[in-house]
């Protein structure tokens, strides 16, 4: 048999599409994609046959199906779906940071159809997008005005560009940071078209350094909160109040990038983080923070400030490029209403998770352990530490409890949990899997036990 003759065993695209295995895939992945995977797998099979590897028709079909299945698995691993977060990291950037409050989810659902995003239903007149939510944000923080954009990174770019284009922005060397994912402040300055005027040293920058840097060229002073690392020891830098005191006589704004956006005092839980209100009270001209960190809302960048500054920011041509969509506004409006209602501790998932006491988490662990029908897992309830995460409040942790699962095949079990529906994500450390239940909602407890049973059984 010549090599060309050996190609007769190759299945056709239609034959592969008719297989039961392919049909299952078609429930989850679009037909066009599956068809392309099949074509590519047949091509690979052809190359393999031509290289002299013998196969019968059945083996060729299995060869193709195996490759297509691998492609669909990898694809579905990225298909967005509900995940049970058992990592104990409250704001897990890879898991979408803050989970939304029920009321925020509800409001998104309603806004998903037509919604009055730029229409006042009472007057019948056009309104400014996000007008109500900015009023609520001012009510909550004491700020004069506000504007909302896609995220805090967009807020930083927009504010620098709108207020200080081609001018110098003064920043302490101790704050010239990488925020994450390669987002480095010097690059942001360059992209926004402002000049970096770095002052002081890594550990100490004085008010006098700022005063000396102020000139006709100054466009702003920016303070960037160290959200994802700590500086301890021989360190000093001026407060916002002090910075404002030296800029008052000039028309130069003090921009406070606080990043994490803490609304309520969290010191009762051992978490020390300045609140948004403190920055407003200290007199910062413009304040920036993320909506999906400690605020507990959707991804967005919230900009607070004096009426004049906010007007100038709104007028920037960049504003249109970073404006938020109706779904974000819906979730943010609902979340802000909760903060104002006095119900935040109960209704904002992030705050609920922060305030959970270790004993209740331990009993939740026990419930899951008791619900296991399998004896094939080596499982115990152990103390562990939860992290806030999401580049917020570094170096702080919360006492928690988790399920520690060990034994052979722990990586396989972890994979099975991850690829289950819903997915369960834990923390692999050394030879065991830790499921920290601080981040698992009460209503997910039963499902978690069921997923553990299912994953253990197929081991
Ligand atoms: C998190 C953070 C940002 C980036 O916020 P995104 O909403 O992720 O864009 C910017 N600055 C500081 C200080 C932060 O902590």
pLDDT digits (tens, 9 = 90+) for 389-426: 987 888 789 999 999 999 889 999 999 999 999 999 99
Helices (H), 220-370: 240-247, 276-282, 307-314, 318-321, 326-341, 344-347, 349-355, 358-370
Q: For residue 183, report the distance from its CA to the centre of ligand 1, in Å.
A: 9
Burial status of residue 318 (CB atoms within 10 A of its CB: 0-12, 13-18, 19 or more): middle
For residue 390, the ligand 1 atom closest to its alpha carbon is 1
Q: CB of 38 closer than 6 A to ligand 1? A: no
Ligand 1 within 6 A of CB of 152: yes
Q: Encode pLDDT of 261-280 as tens digits.
A: 999 999 999 998 999 999 99
Collapsed DSSP state (helix, strand, coil) of residue 69: helix
Buried b (16+ CB within 10 A) or exposed e, 347-359: bbbbbbbbebeee
Instruction: Give the pair of three-digit tokens for residue 144.
Output: 């004069």
Instruction: Return d(Cα 306, Cα 280) in angstroms, integer.
Output: 10
Tell me if residue 238 falls in helix, strand or coil. coil
* Tokens read off for 368: 């899951």
* Stated pTM of the model: 0.94
- Rounded to the nearest 10°, the torsion over CA 237, 242, 246, 252 is 80
| 279 Cβ inside 6 Å of ligand 1 | no
Q: What is the pLDDT of residues 58-97, one digit of tens each?
A: 999 999 999 999 999 999 999 999 999 999 999 999 999 9
Which atom of ligand 1 lies closest to the CA of 392? 15
- Which pLDDT does position 115 carry in this prediction? 97
d(CA 164, CA 302): 19
**Which of 148, 179, 388 best tests ligand 1's pocket when mutated (most atoms within 8 Å of CB)?**
179
Residues 130, 147 contacting (CB under 8 angstroms): yes
Instruction: Give the chain's count of helices (H) and strands (E).
Output: 20, 15
The closest of 226, 220, 239, 228 to 286, measured between CA atoms, is: 220
Q: Which residue, by CA, sits nearest to atom 2 of ligand 1? A: 259
pLDDT in tens, 146-199: 999 999 999 999 999 999 999 999 999 999 988 877 889 999 999 999 999 999
Q: For 212, how many CA atoms within 13 A lie in the half-sphere containing its CB?
A: 9
Q: Tokens at residue 322, please? A: 């970073």
CB 270 within 8 A of CB 398: yes
- Residue whose C-alpha is closest to residue 152's, from 82, 241, 222, 230: 222
């Amino acid at each position: 048999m010549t090599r060309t003759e050996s190609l007769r065993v190759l299945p056709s695209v239609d034959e592969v599409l008719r297989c039961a295995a392919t049909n299952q895939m078609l429930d989850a992945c679009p037909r066009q994609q599956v068809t392309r995977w099949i074509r590519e797998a047949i091509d690979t099979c052809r190359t393999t046959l031509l290289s002299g590897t013998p196969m019968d028709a059945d083996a060729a079909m299995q060869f193709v199906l195996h490759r297509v299945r691998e492609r669909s698995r990898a694809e579905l691993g990225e298909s967005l779906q509900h995940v049970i977060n058992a990592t104990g990291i409250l704001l897990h950037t890879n898991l979408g940071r803050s989970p939304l409050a029920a009321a925020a989810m509800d409001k998104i659902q309603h806004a998903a159809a037509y919604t009055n995003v730029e229409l006042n239903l009472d007057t019948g007149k056009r309104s400014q997008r996000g007008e109500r939510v900015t009023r609520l944000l001012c009510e909550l923080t004491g700020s004069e005005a506000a504007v909302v954009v896609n995220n805090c990174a967009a807020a930083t770019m927009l504010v620098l560009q709108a207020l200080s284009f081609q001018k110098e922005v003064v920043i302490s060397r101790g704050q010239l940071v990488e925020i994450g994912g390669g987002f480095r402040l010097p690059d942001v300055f360059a992209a926004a078209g402002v000049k970096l005027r770095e002052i002081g040293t890594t550990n100490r920058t004085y008010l006098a350094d700022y005063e000396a840097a102020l000139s006709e060229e100054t466009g702003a002073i920016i303070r960037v909160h160290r959200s994802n690392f700590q500086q301890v020891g021989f360190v000093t830098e001026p407060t916002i109040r002090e910075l404002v005191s030296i800029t008052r006589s000039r028309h130069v704004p003090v921009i406070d990038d606080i990043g994490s956006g803490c609304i309520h005092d969290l010191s009762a839980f051992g978490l020390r983080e300045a609140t948004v209100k403190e920055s407003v009270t200290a007199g910062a001209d413009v304040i920036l923070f993320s909506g999906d960190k400690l605020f507990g809302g959707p991804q967005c960048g919230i900009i607070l400030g004096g009426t004049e500054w906010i007007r100038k920011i709104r007028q920037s041509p960049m504003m249109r490029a970073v404006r938020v969509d109706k779904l974000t506004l819906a979730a943010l409006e609902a979340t802000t209403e909760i903060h104002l209602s006095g119900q935040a501790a109960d209704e904002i998932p992030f705050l609920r998770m922060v305030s959970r006491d270790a004993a209740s988490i331990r009993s939740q662990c026990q419930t899951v352990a008791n619900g296991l029908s399998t004896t094939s897992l080596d499982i115990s309830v152990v103390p562990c530490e939860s992290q806030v995460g999401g580049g917020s409040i570094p170096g702080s942790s919360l006492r928690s409890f988790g399920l520690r699962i060990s034994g052979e095949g722990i990586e396989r079990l972890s994979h099975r949990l991850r690829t289950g529906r819903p997915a369960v994500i834990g923390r692999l450390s050394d030879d065991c899997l830790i499921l920290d239940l601080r981040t698992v909602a009460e209503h997910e407890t039963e499902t978690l036990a069921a997923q553990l049973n299912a994953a253990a059984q197929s081991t």
